[in-house]
Amino acid sequence: MQIYLIPVTPFQQNCSLIVCKTTRDAAVVDPGGDIERILETIKQADAQVTQILLTHGHLDHAAGAPELAAALGDVPIIGPHIDDQFWLDSLDEQSKRFGFGHAHAFHPTRWLDETDTVQIGNHQINVIHCPGHTPGHVVFYSATQKIAWVGDVIFQNSIGRTDFPRGNHDDLISSIQNKLFPLGDDVQFVPGHGATSTFGTERTHNPHLKITKKYS
């Protein structure tokens, strides 16, 4: 598996291009904007994008998905969980509020739920529903590669905001403690913003979390 990080939008959101080395099939995670930059990375990687994956419905993660899907021959948009439909429905309003230009409301090709999987070439990616930052937030996890795309659930030395509509701090902490950390201390994660880290590092050093149990 090859992973390319592409910072997009004024919020420098970590869009990811995930490529299967064997088949060159690929997925783009959270294309919030800067579509030309994403397309150039796809070209340089010699990748064949078969799907777009969304962790949640916030503007900087989802707004560019319809334009990118069209540019790639109408590939499917997969995710997030249906509980984030209200966020995707409000993309026009979000774009006006944050000055992102113009974004259109849309529905994905397929909503995701706990225990669903997506396939990227030879790689199976597990879906974990992790509400808190938004109610329909999902995380994408490769057990074989020990890497997770966590959107805005957890960051290096921080956690996701919960002061947005239908955000819930207790749900966020539960998602991190009960769903992500048990995946293992050695699992690396790509956050929606900032540097990558591991669950073990954040379990022991993140000032917003108080977890002492070690996960193998």
Give the pLDDT confidence of 102-112 residue by residue, as tens digits: 688 999 999 99
pLDDT tens digits for range 166-187: 999 999 999 999 999 999 999 9
> DSSP secondary-structure letter at 69?
H
Answer whether residue 212 shows pLDDT above 60.
Answer: no
Task: Provide the residue ranges of all domains of the chain, joining segments of one domain with +.
Answer: 2-205
- Give the pLDDT band (50/70/90) at residue 43: very high
Calculate ∠ Cα 196-190-201, nearest 5°: 45
Q: How many angstroms separate the CA atoms of 216 and 198, rounded? A: 13
Task: Summarize pLDDT for 149-161 with one digit per residue, the tens.
Answer: 999 999 999 999 9
Domain 2-205 fold is: Metallo-beta-lactamase; Chain A (3.60.15)
Classify residue 37 by burial, with Cβ atoms within 10 Å: 0-12, 13-18, 19+. Answer: middle
Q: Is the peptide bond before 207 cis (omega within 30 degrees of 0)?
A: no
Mean pLDDT across the stretch 30-46? 97
Q: Is the entire prediction scored with pTM above 0.85?
A: yes
Cα 106 to Cα 64: distance, rounded to the nearest angstrom: 11
pLDDT bin (cut points 50, 70, 90) of residue 93 is confident
Tell me: pLDDT of 124 over 70. yes
Which pLDDT belongs to residue 215? 64
The neighbour count for residue 126, using CB atoms within 10 Å, is 16
